[in-house]
Each structure stands twice: as C-alpha cells, then as structure tokens.
Amino acid sequence: MENLEKAIAEIKKQMPGLRLLENEPLAGHSSFRIGGPVRALAVPSSVMSLTKICAILKDHQLAPLLLGNGTNLLFPDEGLSELFIISTEKLTKLFLLPDGAIYAEAGVPLAKLASFAQQNGLAGLEFASGIPGSLGGGCVMNAGAYGGELKDLIESVVCYYLPEQRLYELTKEQCRFGYRSSLFQTLGGCVILSAVLRPAAGDKEEIAAKMRELNERRREKQPLDLPSAGSAFKRPEGYYAAALIEEAGLKGYAVGGAQVSEKHAGFIVNTGGATSHDVHELMLYIRKTVYEKSGVRLDPEILILPPDYKLEDHGPAVPGHRIDLRKEE
C-alpha cells in the first residue's frame, strides 16, 4: 500500500501530462456496469508512456492490471484499493504494413479492426466485428465467434515483459492460443502492446455482407440491450453452455440484479443494480445446478477479480483467478 502511494507520487512527478484517475469507480469501465473504485487508473496516450508507467511500478515492486474495453471482467463492489490499472483505450494506431499485413495497437477495438480489414479488402475478421473488446483483451482471451478466432489471423504479438522490463515479439505459436485461452492468462507480467494480423485477400462487398449477417444474428440472439460480460461460461467439450443452463431450468433465474438472460441462457445480465456478489453467487448456483442435472462442469469465461486481489512484482498482468470452488462444497 505504501509502495503504491509512492509509485503514484512518482508517476505524477515524472509524467505530469498523464491522464491519471484516482479512486475511480470501475463500474464505468466495465460492460457489466459493476465495480467499486480502483486506487489509480492511468490512461497513457502512447506505448512509450505505458512502458514508462510499468517501469516506475516495477521500481516499487508493483505490477499493473491491464484494462482493454472491460467486456470480459467482473470487478468487485468493494473496489480495488491496492491496485493500479492501466487502460489501453488510447493505444489505437492501426495501419497496413508494406507487405499487406495489419499492424494494430492493443487498444484498437475489434469492431474497428474488422471494418478496417473490410475497407482494405481483407477477409477473415468478420467474426470479430460484433465482439465489443479490444485487440489486447482479444489476444488474452483468444476471442472468437461463429467459427473464427483471433489466433487464425495473428502472426505475432509484441509485449512488454514486466519482470525483465523488455520487449518481446512472440510468434502465434509462442502465444499458445487455445479455446478462449492464451499464454497471457498464465504467464504473469505480460503487457500486450500490439499485434500483426494477416487476413486473406477478399471481396469488400462479400466481407461487408458477412459482417452484416453475423451482427444481425447477434442482435437476434443476444441480450445486447442489457449490461453483461458476454458468455459467462466457456463451451464445455461436446456441449453448449447455454443449452445446458436452459435445460437445467435456469433461464430467467436471478440473484439480486443478476439474471440468466431470458433471451440467451449463456449470458448473465445486469437488470439494474446488480452487485459483483450477485453475479458470483449466480455463477456458483448455475455451475452447481448444471452439474447436478447433467454431470457437466462449467468453467467461467468471465475473469473475476476478488476484492483482495493484489498484484505484486512478477504477479500476473492478467488475473488468473477463477470461481472459488471451495465455496461450492
């Protein structure tokens, strides 16, 4: 705590132009609209200033939590008084490389990336046009939909490895992408700065038509009018989480303001005033009930931050925390 206060003072001194929000409510930075205040949230406007913040934090034996668009996170109601968050929202450089590949910084929204590809006659990113996350968060989660995944397009990822304070360019293979998983979820201290993607040449009109069709399917099926963090659980092998939840009779089931969506049982929505506690309790109840009815264990896709979550030196830039199974016993 003392280290954090010292680091904040040093960051203010060395970087007077930095946008630094103190005791900032996280509900405004989360698609769930849930979360108490974080001690500090910095919004650097360049990769250089992001790495400078990381270096100062490291000097104080601290590591930040990286925030993309906050569309896959559950922040605690109690807030995160011992945490420093860095948002990538201003890291939005996006251009074509001479060899036709796309270079994008971590904060580029996936929807913007998909439309940039379409405008340049590059196919393969249509699936991403309706995913509300950023490229950085998308790499961490290996975001995907309708048969496509970011891993299919990514050629390399540049990240700042906090423990060594140096940059690495990782190949797709080194990123160890799997279904909604990547190296970045398990290796602590990896801050994604940018990526190179290599979509295939395609017809602009056909790409645009596919994007419209997929977004229409999304609007029809998903509760986009209510705050959520997308699919609450990963797809278990051989099953669909939404179907299992619906078959367990849980569609519409609510804990406080958190509800299993009436429109799509795979989503937990905030119907108004939901707390992180409500969402957590509901997720535990869903897991338990689905297991009792079908014998299938559901794994959360949403990343949950516990109130006592602290990041120390060499700690994860990405929370590895999952539902606390001990609570189910």
Ligand X SMILES: Cc1cc2nc3c(=O)[nH]c(=O)nc-3n(C[C@H](O)[C@H](O)[C@H](O)COP(=O)(O)OP(=O)(O)OC[C@H]3O[C@@H](n4cnc5c(N)ncnc54)[C@H](O)[C@@H]3O)c2cc1C
List active site positions.
180, 231, 301
Lookup result for tokens 């940059």: 167
Out of 74, 143, 279, 282, which residue is the one contacting ligand X (CB under 6 A)? 143
Min. distance of Cβ 101 from ligand X in angstroms? 19
Integer Cα distance of 137 and 82 in angstroms: 22
CA dist 253 and 244 (Å) reads 14
The pattern of x and - marking residues 185 through 224 that bind ligand X according to CB under 6 A reads: ------xx-------------------------------x
Closest to ligand X by CB, 34 vs 65, is: 65
Contact 191, 159 (CB under 8 A): yes
Buried b or exposed e, range 171-209, using 16+ CB within 10 angstroms: ebeebbbeebebbbbebbbbbbbbbbbbbeebeeeebee
134, 194, 270, 276: residue in contact with ligand X (rule CB under 6 A): 134
- Given the DSSP bridges, would you call strands 190-197 and 102-105 parallel, antiparallel or unpaired? antiparallel
The residue from 10, 15, 19, 31 that contacts ligand X (CB under 6 A) is 31
Among 185, 183, 179, which residue's Cα sits nearest to residue 147?
179
Residue 324 near residue 74 (C-beta atoms within 8 A)? no
Rounded Cα gap, residues 155 and 167, in angstroms:
17
Is residue 189 a contact partner of residue 317, using CB atoms and an 8 Å limit? yes
Among 303, 249, 248, 314, which Cα is nearest to 280's? 303
315 lies in the binding site for ligand X (CB under 6 A): no
Nearest residue (CB) to ligand X, 114 versus 317: 317
**Helix, strand or coil, per DSSP, at residue 314:** coil
How far apart CA 107 and CA 89 sit, in angstroms, is: 5
Q: Could you give the maximum distance between any two Cα atoms of the chain, in Å?
A: 58
Smallest separation (angstroms) from ligand X to the CB of 186:
11
Nearer to ligand X, 137 or 199 (CB): 137
Structure tokens at 216: 């229409």
The CA–CA distances, whole Å, from 309 to 56, 81, 318 equal 20, 10, 11
Least distance to ligand X from the beta carbon of 179, Å? Answer: 10
CB of 159 to ligand X, least distance (A): 7
Q: By C-alpha distance, which of 224, 232, 272 is closest to 250?
A: 232
Least distance to ligand X, CB of residue 98, Å = 25
The footprint of ligand X on residues 37-76 (CB under 6 A) is 65-73
Q: Is 8 in the site for ligand X (CB under 6 A)?
A: no
Angle at 328 between CA 325 and CA 329, to 5 degrees: 105
Q: Which residue in the set 114, 303, 304, 311 belongs to the binding site for ligand X (CB under 6 A)?
A: 303
Nearer CB in complex with ligand X: 215/289: 215
Total number of residues that touch ligand X (CB under 6 A): 35
The least CB distance from residue 185 to ligand X, in Å, is 7
Q: Does the footprint of ligand X cover residue 114 (CB under 6 A)?
A: no
Nearest residue (CB) to ligand X, 122 versus 302:
302
Closest to ligand X by CB, 51 vs 228, is 228
Stretch that binds ligand X, among 16-24, 167-175, 228-236, 282-290 (CB under 6 A): 228-236
**Binding-site ranges for ligand X (CB under 6 A):** 31, 65-73, 88, 106, 131-134, 136-138, 140-141, 143-145, 184, 191-192, 224, 228-230, 303, 317-319
